[in-house]
Amino acid sequence: MIIRYGTIGPIFEMAPQNVDYYGISIAGVAKLFDLNRFCPKST
């Protein structure tokens, strides 16, 4: 889990502005930070 182990900061720094994050692990963070997220198994 990226938040738990403190790796989300470097990912934010490396990622370009318009990134779509994939999967359920990023769901909560995507909501909090208003990030684009794609997961075909969720709503």
pLDDT for position 36: 86
Question: For the chain, how many structural domains are there in total?
Answer: 1
Q: Is residue 3 part of a domain?
A: no
pLDDT tens digits, 1-43? 456 666 777 777 887 777 887 877 778 888 888 888 887 776 5
Q: Is the dihedral of CA 16, 35, 7, 24 positive or negative?
A: negative
Q: What is the pTM of this model?
A: 0.54
Domain extent, residue 21, equals 8-38
Q: Is residue 31 part of a domain?
A: yes
Q: Is residue 43 part of a domain?
A: no
Q: Do the Cβ atoms of 29 and 8 come closer than 8 Å?
A: yes
